[in-house]
Every structure is written in structure tokens, then in C-alpha cells.
Amino acid sequence: MKVFEPLQHRINQFLAQQLESGYPNASRLKKSMAYSLLSGGKRVRPLLVYATAECAEINLNSADFIAAALEMIHAYSLIHDDLPAMDNDELRRGKATNHIAFDEATAILAGDALQSLAFETLCHIPENPTLTIKAVQLLAQASGLGGMAGGQSLDLISENKAADINQLQNIHAAKTGAILKACVTLPLTFSRKLGKKNHKILHDFADHLGIAFQIVDDILDVTQDTETLGKPAHSDTKNNKSTYPGLLGLDGAKAKAAHHIDQAYGLMDQIKENTNQLRRVTDLIIRRNH
């Protein structure tokens, strides 16, 4: 959607600046980091940060640091997800995955370094240091044992096993949903406008959006081809993972996604502040075809 191009350009420039200004010397590791971090994509997570910032009336210059930190975490997670020990994929965003383009050891280190750079970047946000510490804590929780990394572990353990719907939802609430929710909760940490009630509404909104995001992802994996996805289609089936279409059938998965999408929009209806951008980003997330 062209409406997002200025913000996509903004975060792309900011990411490149963070990588270059902090570490100007060229190296194989830096090239590997840049290969995955600056490879494009829709930048869904930064867009969600910017949309929340608009709703909460947070300065975009501050939102840049939050958006960049979360995109760095996302980039690191993709590098590690693609490794032979994880999903063993060779294609990401239409080009060779990091460990194929470089080598496995460099890819592991690139992911490690991007994770560190995310926290370094967030620490530079020009806001109240006490609030910054809180944001760092939230990012650590979302990406660590109780969030993305823990969810990835549960996902690997569940391969070749029949998970029920509650187990599947718990896996993806951590693996995928925690970082997506952080795109809402981190900006809200610095909000001086929205009260506790609106914070709770937006937290619940992010929960429903995270579930809908994963269901749509599962649906695309079985309905789109590799060229459209930019990554191997049917990879969940190949790895014998439990998915929403696998448990509920394709129509059942679509119905469940629609339920959580309706809940997300309903929660936004309860907020009097400007949610126009938040609605546009939600539309982008749930209507994406890859």
C-alpha cells in the first residue's frame, strides 16, 4: 500500500543509519547483518509501532528507536529460524537465506549481533531513562524465555506431535504474538496521553491481532506458492508442524481468523483517540497475500 511508503522509507533509512553510525568499519559479519536487516519486506512491525505512536501522540523521532529495535529482533529471529537446526529453509523474501548467502556460523553470529544491537538502539531513545529501562525490560520479556525464544522452543518440540488448539495458541502467542504485541506495548510505555483503560484495550487489541496474524500466516503457507510468498510454501507441512488449518481445516481457520479480526476492530472502536493509522496497519496485516 502506497500510504505506508513514507514510513517504510523512514525506517529503512533509520536502520541503515543505526548499523553504519555505530559500526562504520566493514566486515563480513556486518555485511551478513545488513543482508537480512536491510532486505526490505513490508516492515509490519515498525508500521505497527508508528501507528500506536500516532494514537498515543508519541513523537516519531522516539518511535524510530522502538521500531528499529523491534525490526532488528525480527531480523535476527528470521536468520535463526531459517538455520538447518531450525526450519532449514533456503529462501527468504525471494532470495537466499543468510546461512546460504554467507555460512552457518556467520548467520548465527549475525543474529546474535542484531539482538544486541536492538537493545543498544532502544537505550538511545530520547525519553525518560526510567521509562526506557521499562521498555528494555518489555523487549527482553517479549524476545526471551517467556516470549519469542520460548515459543520457538515449544514449536520445535511440538513437531511430529498432535497439539490441540490451546497448545497451538500458547505456542504462537509466545513465538509470534509476543513481539507483535511489543510493537504496541513499547510505544505505550512512553505515552503521556492514554489512560490505563486505553492501555488495557490496546493490549487486548494486540493479543487478538497477534493470533489473527499467525492464523493468516498458516493459511498463506497452504494456499500460496513459493514465488508469491518469497519463501518455501508448505514448509509447515514439510516440518510436520501443527497449524490452524491442520487442526481446524481451511474454512475453520478462516473463521477463527475472522473472529479475532472482528475482536481487534471492536476494541479499536472503544478508543476515542485517532486510530486511523492503526486500522490501516491492521488491514495490511490481515489482508496480506505473502
Q: Give the separation between CA 200 and CA 228, rounded to whole angstroms.
A: 37
Give the pLDDT confidence score for residue 223 in this predicted structure: 85
What angle do the packed helices 165-172 and 196-223 form, to 10 degrees?
A: 110
Closest to 244 measured CA to CA, from 174, 171, 152: 171
Query: How many Cβ atoms are within 10 Å of 72's Cβ, its own excluded?
Result: 28
Enumerate residues 6+ apart whose C-beta is below 8 A from 287. none
Yes or no: say if 54 and 274 are a contact pair by the CB < 8 Å rule: yes
Q: Give the separation between CA 43 and CA 51, rounded to whole angstroms.
A: 12
How many structural domains is the chain composed of? 1
What's the Cα-to-Cα distance from 78 to each of 53, 108, 258, rounded to whole Å?
25, 11, 27
Closest to 62 measured CA to CA, from 49, 77, 44: 49
pLDDT of 171-199, one tens digit each?
989 999 999 999 999 999 999 888 889 99
Give the pLDDT confidence score for residue 226 in this predicted structure: 66
Residue 99 corresponds to which amino acid? H
**Among the residues of 90-225, which ranges form H helices?**
98-101, 104-123, 129-143, 148-157, 165-172, 178-189, 196-223
**pLDDT-based confidence at residue 239 (cuts at 50, 70, 90):** low
Looking at 8-12, 124-128, 160-164, 214-218, which range is the least confident one?
Answer: 160-164
Yes or no: say if 245 and 223 are a contact pair by the CB < 8 Å rule: no
Give the pLDDT confidence score for residue 236 in this predicted structure: 63
Give the pLDDT confidence score for residue 21 in this predicted structure: 87
Percent share of the chain, pLDDT over 70 = 93
For the domain that residue 9 is a member of, what is the CATH number?
Answer: 1.10.600.10
**Among the residues of 3-128, which ranges form H helices?**
5-22, 28-37, 44-56, 60-81, 98-101, 104-123
First to last CA, the chain: 13
- Cell numbers for 59: 513523537
Bridge partners (DSSP) listed for residue 140:
none
CA angle 257, 258, 259 (to 5 degrees): 90
Residue 231: is its pLDDT beyond 80? no
**pLDDT-based confidence at residue 232 (cuts at 50, 70, 90):** low
**Mean pLDDT of all residues in the chain?**
91
Looking at 3-17, 39-53, 92-106, 160-174, which range is the least confident one?
Answer: 160-174
Residue 159: is its pLDDT beyond 60? yes
Enumerate residues 6+ apart whose C-beta is below 8 A from 237. 221, 222, 246
Give the pLDDT confidence score for residue 230 in this predicted structure: 62
Give the pLDDT confidence score for residue 73 in this predicted structure: 98
pLDDT of 50-85, one tens digit each?
999 999 999 999 999 999 999 999 999 999 999 999
Average pLDDT of 9-33? 93
Residue 289: is its pLDDT beyond 80? no
Closest to 87 measured CA to CA, from 145, 156, 170, 136: 156
- SS3 (DSSP) at 83: coil
Residue 92: is its pLDDT beyond 80? yes
Give the pLDDT confidence score for residue 20 in this predicted structure: 92
Give the residue numbers spanning the domain of 51: 2-286
Yes or no: say if 55 and 271 are a contact pair by the CB < 8 Å rule: yes
Query: How many Cβ atoms are within 10 Å of 193's Cβ, its own excluded?
Result: 10
Residue 57 corresponds to which amino acid? E
Average pLDDT of 257-265? 94
Q: Give the separation between CA 262 and CA 270, rounded to whole angstroms.
A: 13
Yes or no: say if 150 and 77 are a contact pair by the CB < 8 Å rule: no
Enumerate residues 6+ apart whose C-beta is below 8 A from 266. none
